[in-house]
Structure 1
């Protein structure tokens, strides 16, 4: 990639909401297993392994510069789990919308080689990223909006905080007895 690289990462709100959901749903399980006389060691191992998988999924980086766009992950993330991709601006032919099962829309870059690459849509700075893509490709991306709106993850985070309160009460009840 060339100079003037702009790096876009998964939105902090999305990361916080998903990590919060993961932890509030799963951290109480080993404690509850222990109270019920069950072995909790494997639950802790699974909790840590799942956390590594979640962190890998949330560590996506989008690099945009004058040469093209690249989706990549840290070196510790195996490519069989999260393969990245790179496109030069000259390879991008169009942007095609597709409906999701939940009623939203995602967009795919189509290339001169007739392959498709998913436009990253959960990044902080999405509007700036799409403006850069427009500037380099000439595509009109004004109708492209982030897949997940801020209010969706704000509501999820609110429910996570309520669940964390319940978790705290359960863990306190378990610890006193």
Structure 2
């Protein structure tokens, strides 16, 4: 059995962006006498962080029989259930373009009921793709991750800069 968690770089980047984009809101609400109390915003932002963290706790489990995308029990019970496909059910990997021009791949089955997105943000993506090729016989040599690590490093840098600006904004709101 192999377990592929979401890349820590991707998780850190997206959580940092969440914090950077929302942290100033309660301070600004207080400074501007907004109709929404800042205490409500703190609660909402805390709940939002839990939701974002839950979505970012996806992991892929592969074994001799199947590939499965799953989430922790507390996430499955509320938001996302994940999916499971037996290797024998997989017919092909179909390429689709995203709205931003990237490429994603979907597993199709012999039943053609629905398509299942190949998880591309996992740690060890190249190894996952090799396992998919080994188990299904589908040629995966042209499959690349949707985003390269350097892209997430740049986004993380932008999120950190945004946090610095947040600090200045908060100091201004408090002063």
**Could you tell me the TM-score, scaled by structure 1's length?**
0.92
Mapped to 1, the partners of 2:152 and 2:129 lie a distance apart of 21
Mapped to 2, the partners of 1:66 and 1:47 lie a distance apart of 41
Q: Would you identify which runs of 4 or more consecutive aligned residues in structure 1 move more than 6 Å?
A: none
Alignment of 1:1-177 (within 5 A): 5-38=1-34, 39-78=37-76, 81-114=79-112, 115-175=114-174, 177=175
TM superposition shift of 1:173: 3.2
Mapped to 2, the partners of 1:116 and 1:160 lie a distance apart of 33
TM superposition shift of 1:132: 0.8
Aligned CA RMSD, in angstroms, stands at: 1.3
* 8 A Cα contact 2:104 2:118, kept in partner: yes
Structure 2 gap ranges (5+): none
Q: Deviations over 1:73-131 (max 9, x none)?
A: 10001456212111111111111001111101110111111131110011110001111
Mapped to 2, the partners of 1:30 and 1:117 lie a distance apart of 39
TM superposition shift of 1:37: 2.5
Q: Which range moves more in the overlay, 51-60 or 73-82?
A: 73-82
Count residues with an aligned counterpart: 172
Structure 1 gap ranges (5+): none
Mapped to 2, the partners of 1:112 and 1:52 lie a distance apart of 37
**Could you tell me the TM-score, scaled by structure 2's length?**
0.93
Mapped to 1, the partners of 2:132 and 2:97 lie a distance apart of 21
The 3-state SS of whatever aligns with 1:77 is: helix
